[in-house]
Amino acid sequence: MNKKMMQYIDILPEIQTALDNGEAVVALESTIISHGMEYPLNVQCARRCEEIIREEGAVPATIAIIKGRIKVGLTYDELEYFGTEKGIRKVSRRDLAMVVANGKDGATTVAATMIISEMAGISIFATGGIGGVHRKAQETFDISADLDELSKTSVAVVCAGAKSILDIALTLEVLETKGVPVIGYGTDDFPAFYTRASGFGVDERMNDPETVAAFLSAKWNLGINGGVVIANPIPVAAEMDEAYITAEIEKALAQSEIDGIKGKEVTPYLLKHLFGATEGKSLASNLELVYNNSRIGAKIAKAYAK
């Protein structure tokens, strides 16, 4: 990290030491804390993700912006603050410098978390699901900045595929166009967040952390910059019935149009609708897939550190 960057970033000593020693570090985003769940579940989820990463022998680095300071790793009190403070801005590439310059709080999306991870020297990032091409994007041009970030920022993103509220076919098409490898972790079928399969394939199946780590090393050592999607299916026990969740998503999308929901407000609106419609089952599945991704992310980070 150069001196100009250093003036804006605070890295917890534990994380900096791990990075200096070439040890395994896994980045975590903060949008799931401020925009994904209510307090205290949001903080409990964040802490459990960190615990799982530690259990696997890696160091967690939850990333957020607090009062204009980019935080790579949050203290106990900072995590509590972030989970309870209202009006925290959702931050992607476009917003990052504005939030820092204005001394505001910001919750990092996949794209912003990737940017900050690369600045800090963290190569592995675990999250829920990546953003993508929204349904009817041919009319709205609503395409997540995550896809563009994956094409240029060298961080591997462990996720349960793309959120099933998206157009998965078009999302994969954009990733292919941008040259982003999509790796199926133990699967030939691209997962669809709540379900283990979407009906669409992956570029390559890899069954263990060592194989993934060798691929990441080869890619980046060859100077082929850009991210990687490591699609890790939701655990079998937490998977939702495909027909059931698809029907509920269609209802939620229809209602969002009636209510005039657009842009970055669509995803939290749909997730809230699904929570009510499924009597909390969608949230339970969401939690389990995030925990699973944290676990696999730590395993890959350890293999990559070797």
Query: Which of the residues are catalytic?
Result: 29, 163
Bin 158: left if φ > 0, else alpha if -120 < ψ < 50, else beta: beta
> 60 near 50, Cβ under 8 Å?
yes
**Cα 177 to chain centroid, rounded:** 21
Residues 6+ apart with CB under 8 A from 108: 29, 30, 31, 63, 64, 65, 91, 116
Half-sphere exposure of 300 (CA within 13 A, CB side): 35
| Residue (of 67, 45, 209, 199) closest to 128 by Cα position | 45
Phi, psi (rounded to 5 degrees) for 31: -60, -35
| Residue (of 215, 203, 92) closest to 153 by Cα position | 92
